[in-house]
Structure 1
Amino acid sequence: MKLIAPDYYTKFKCIADKCKHSCCIGWVIDVDPDTLEYYHTMQGDLGERLKKGIDESDETAHFILGEGERCPFLNQSGLCDLITELGEESLCQICTDHPRYRNFYSDRTEIGLGLCCEAAGELILKHQEKTTLVILEDDGENEELDVPDESLLTWREELFAIAQDRSRSVAERAAAILDAAEMSIPERSLAEWADIYLELERLEESWTDCLQGLKTTDISDVPVLDTQEWEVAFEQLLVYFLYRQLPFALDDGEYEGRAAFCVLSYRIIHDLCRVHAVLHGRVGLDDLVEIVRQYSAEIEYSDENVEALLDALFEE
């Protein structure tokens, strides 16, 4: 069994108190059974805080969020009291993993970094080289790929090659991905797409504001973002979505729909950047990182939202 990741993966480092959008705020943080058992052994003041700060009444224990939906162990300096007192090894599994995600195949596990994290977004979207996949671990066992896994991974390699063909614009590459999937994006105005996104579950008011801007802002005179630095950033975005989203087709069978979802996501994010340019007088890659962070947190981390958009791709 192998562990495989994008080549930038090992460069990731949490920026902790420097993060403008802490993952310790606003998210339900589950505590896995092994870590919960470990927390039960804690004594003294920290043991009391753990006892009071974890709700065990549900099937899955979780931290009780405080004022401002903050984790009870996130201090005012933006650091985790559990880390400062016990070390990183004391964290529950979800805190240890975030923003990492995994997809599982018959011969490998693939790991990546979610764009809901601003540090991950900075790393991925400003990565200048074509993304390649590297082997991080290999136990030497040569498991055989199941036929569905092999078929999907072969197709994904073809889509990667299209997405990374720098002889064409990213817009042309996105269209070619749709052609390869024998799909098209339904012809709707940006306002109509904004309404579809506004119907989805939303977390942050700032995301609602972004979508309202998409609905009401005229960007017909705003040029597409096609300078070299933008093209590379959007290429990385397309590759990220293909890497993360296509494997779910093994479960739901939405091979063509998942590919189209990747293209739709790129196009909506591109136009949100153009809206930002109108509303704020400028737009830069740092703004792209923030827009992508919101998109990922609001869409990718909600199965229901992704499913609703897949349905919208098949509606006339």
Structure 2
Amino acid sequence: MLIRVPDYYEAFHCLAGACPHTCCEKWEVVIDPETARRYGTVPGPLGKRLRAAMGPDEDGDLCFRLDGGRCPFLDRENLCEIHRALGEAATSVTCREHPRFTEDYGPFRETSLCASCPAACDLLLGSDAPLTFLTRETAEPAEPGDPWLRGLLPLRERLLRELADRSRPLEKRLETFLLLATEAQVLLDADQAEELPALAAHWKQPETAVPPGPGLFPYTLEVLAGLEVLDGDWRDLLRSGADAQPADVPEALLERLATYFAFRHLLKAVNDGDLLGRAQFCVLMVLTARRLAAVCGLKEAIRRLCCELEHSEENLEALRQAFLQDAALSPAAFLRQLRG
């Protein structure tokens, strides 16, 4: 099987027992059955604490119950007591895999590092070179993929090339990205995914008139504030961003951010056909990060956005529905924002 990862993936060595960041602080850690059985045999005081801390969450998953908003096994230095005492293999699958997101498409698998992790975000923003992706092969057998993959793969490659075209301002590239995704969505809606490779190869950007009206901000921040909130001060940050002008952020870093989101999200359209909604999400995250960077800095803006949105399927789905139903978040509103 082919495995695809971002070019900085191999440089990532964030382990819960040695990392001082607070990624794990506010999450209920889901404990897989094998790890739960292992905790049942751990002797001594640590074993008693492990077993006492486990309990079902509201969805019925076995978790460590938070203690004052923190995992009960984070020490004062934000290091994992389980990892330090019993080794990485003794932590749950959730902890071992964080901040990795893996998508299995059958003939290949893609793994990305969520920028909600400060160490991963540092790597993402640690270079101004175009973000690329590495492919390696494993002995694991591949499986057949969805037929839509044959069209979506070359289309995504074209979209990534448009983002990387540094001969043009970033806003122009993001506009091209959205317009191509819009035309591709027409084919998907008509069940003509087999036409996507030709569209990717031959598409030329048309002249597009946009009706007058407002752009995305500050309304978008109100929409984000209405979603499920993980961190209590998230809405305060969004309110501060409503009055802020976009920060002066190097385009190369915003390009890398856009590429990160496009790699992570676009191919998921294979599951439901919603390519345009995911393209809008990618652009929205870049524009929102630039706006919030004026309040808290770019890295913190990206970390908070990814934490609140990429870790919540409910929030992602709510945004995609808003793109479909709310005229203030339509493709036209995106284009007005980019041209404004």
Q: TM-score category by the smaller chain?
A: 0.7 to 0.9
Superimposed CA distance per residue, residues 43-99 of structure 1 (whole angstroms, 9 cap, x where no aligned partner): 1112111111111587421112112x1111111122111111111111100000000
Does the 8 A contact of 1:32 with 1:92 survive in 2?
A: yes
Indicate whether 1:64 and 2:65 are aligned. yes
Distance 1:198 1:312 in 2: 13
Counterpart AA for 1:298: E
Q: CA deviation at 1:234?
A: 0.4
Query: How many Å apart are 1:31 and its aligned residue?
Result: 0.1
Aligned to 1:48: 48
The residue aligned with 1:93 is: 93
Deviation at 1:29, TM superposition (A): 0.7
Q: Check conservation: 1:19, 1:118, Cα contact below 8 A.
A: no
Structure 1 CA distance, aligned partners of 2:291 and 2:139? 44
Equivalent-residue separation in structure 2 for 1:29 and 1:140 (angstroms): 29
CA contact (8 A) 2:266 2:278 kept: yes
Q: Which residue in 2 is equivalent to 1:36?
A: 36
- Give the whole-Å Cα distance in 1 for the aligned partners of 2:225 and 2:142: 47
State whether residues 55 and 65 of structure 2, in contact with CA within 8 Å, keep that contact through their aligned partners in structure 1.
yes
Cα distance between partner residues in 1 of 2:56 and 2:285:
37
- Amino acid aligned to 1:116: S
- What are the equivalent positions in structure 2 for 1:222-237 lying under 5 Å apart? 225=248, 230-237=250-257
Change (3 A) 1:167 1:79: same
Partner of 2:203: none
SS of the equivalent of 1:102 reads: strand
Alignment gaps of 5+ in structure 2: 184-209, 328-340
Distance 1:252 1:263, change over 3 A: same
TM-score of the superposition, structure 1-length normalised? 0.86
Deviation at 1:15, TM superposition (A): 6.7
Question: Which residue is equivalent to 2:204?
Answer: none
Matched, 1:312 2:313: no
The reply on whether 1:152 has 2:152 as its aligned counterpart is: yes
In 2, are the aligned partners of 1:63 and 1:71 still within 8 Å (CA)?
Answer: yes
The 10-residue stretch of structure 1 (103-112 or 57-66) with the greater mean CA deviation from structure 2: 57-66
Looking at structure 2, the residues matched to 301 and 24 of structure 1 have their Cα atoms a distance apart, in angstroms, of 12
* CA deviation after TM superposition for structure 1 residue 141, in Å: 5.0
Q: Give TM-score, length-normalised by structure 2.
A: 0.81
Question: Deviation digits for residues 190-219 of structure 1, max 9, x if unmatched?
Answer: 12222111111112233212210122x153
What pairs with 1:1-316 in structure 2 (closer than 5 Å)?
A: 1-14=1-14, 19-20=20-21, 22-56=22-56, 59-67=60-68, 69-139=69-139, 145-182=145-182, 187-215=214-242, 217=243, 219=245, 225=248, 230-274=250-294, 276=295, 287-314=297-324, 315-316=326-327
Quick one: percent identity of the two aligned structures? 33
Unaligned residue ranges in structure 1 (runs of 5+): 277-282
